[in-house]
Structure 1
Amino acid sequence: MRFSDLSLSTIHHALRTKGVVYQCGPFTIQLKANIPSFTAQIHNLFAHYPFINNDVLINFRVNLVRPHTHRYWWRPQVQFKTAEGDPGMAPFPLDHALPMLEWGTNWCIASQSHFYLMLHSAVVEYLGKGVLLPAWPGSGKSTLCAAFAMRGWRMLSDEFGLIDLETGLIQPLPKLIPLKNQSIEVIRNFAPDAVIGPLFTKTRKGDVAHFRPPLASVAQSDIQAKPRLVIFPKYQPDTRFKLMEVTKAQALLRLANNAFNYQVVGKKGFQAVKSLIDQSSCYELYFNDLDTVIENLQQLIKSLPSEE
């Protein structure tokens, strides 16, 4: 059963009482919230996620609550609470509950999922070949991820490149993509049929609207991908498309510095990065046109030798 199979009233009742339990990639999350306007957003943007209605092991228990302060009625707020720890997030305006959920869930994953090497990277797959796009905020990786997803590539994640420390494979985590500022209209114009949630203005990251991952990507969340390309992207307004090869030594250092928990996982983290680089071709990408990027990278992937 998925969220799209449920009525708004069913979701709202569950949010207010025992919570909705849903699956996102390898994580099972229980979410509680008593915010009427939030229910419709969840119904729309979580439509493809599995809704779990039986007893399961829950990874994160999340509660969006209204703090009982003098602002309860005047400029009401929402606060992120979890049984797994305190992220120390200051309250958000009540109508920004969805961005708070997204950033709070990121904290849960980043602080407690050390059975993976966690790279700050978008990840997609084309023709069975995994492509990591490691980059820091502002480089365009989330925009690229949404664009690839709308052209039939499998979306694994826009934020977390989860590398299984035992297999070296990439674990999908198809969370909502928080498009920011100009990226929102870029994707609306690029893919008019993309499902994008409401616009949240003046957040700590500017204007934000959330892109819903395609059903096919969510449905294949349990299928890990083998890495074949590592591409360090950078949006550059005056460059339509430029792809330059990066040595494996340079790529290894850059990828290690891009990890959330490289030092925490220690030797296994080094081995995972080295194995990933050994089996991947590595490039630096400068771009300003999504169609050109997709066309050229599809050709690059088709040219990669088949694995024996």
Structure 2
Amino acid sequence: MSTSRSSTSSSFTLFPYLPPELRLQIYRHSAHPRVTTLTYHFPTNTFTCSTHPPPLLHICHESRAEGLRLYTKCFLLPFPDAADPEDPSSAHQPLHVSAAPADNKQEKQKNGREEEEEKGGRYFYHHPDLDTLYLPRPPHPSAADPLGLGYADWARDFAIRLPHVAGAVRRLAVDYIRPEVRRPWEVYSKVCLIRGFLPKLEEAFMVISSSSSSGISGGGDDGEEGRGEAEGAEIELIDPRGDTEEIMGIMERVRESFRVEVGDGLGLGLGLGFVGQEDGGRGDGQKSGGGLELRPKSKVPSAWVCPPASVTCAW
């Protein structure tokens, strides 16, 4: 395999002559953790995915065939009736996302129309073992959320309407919302959103800041703060850099707000707080009591961005 920037001396031209099982193992190891971002659009009752398809699917036919064994193909399907942005209850209509295992036979017949659909965001690929599904709060004010409803019915019913998508997700990230801009229903919506992904969920993250903000910011806040990176930019989640006491205080307030909605967490199966606060510093996302820890994260531009055309097989 070689890149367009690689010199001749660094190109591995013998890759095609490696044993097939070794080539497949290299393909599998080339898959890296990604953040799959789905943003809800209230006026049309649709999701858009800003995450590019995995490069593994665009190297060659052999790599694509192996990639389709690793990634779940999640469709963004059209739906004729749009939700009424002035009536949050109208969002109970079925959402435009469904998931199904990739069909290798059909995928081998890749053509220009499929490439066009990928660019148009009609479906996305998610690796259950590596990727994190990020459901940000729709930015406000914006065309996506003109009334500033935030985490509304679409979040509460996400896993119920899309059980196949929820069943493929093991890592989920949602936005922290500053109390002064948070709507009354948003805490409960996020509780339902996280709970809907159980028992498959292994890790849950609260995005409390971004590289574009000078400190702690909430997702989709009024104005520019909290909007994070430019729309369509690839991101990754890292441990937040800042005052540890401030971060722990935020997570404790999140824990308390969840507790107000669901009591002490009965039936929820979540232990919400800062990793290391009650688990003895285990850092594996699981509390010693068996609950799922909600861990703080910061979003930054991804270092893995690599246009598919820059990676080729030297056949």
TM-score under structure 2 normalisation?
0.24
Which structure has the higher relative contact order (CA within 8 Å, separation 6+)? 2
TM-score under structure 1 normalisation?
0.24
Q: Larger radius of gyration, structure 1 or 2?
A: 2
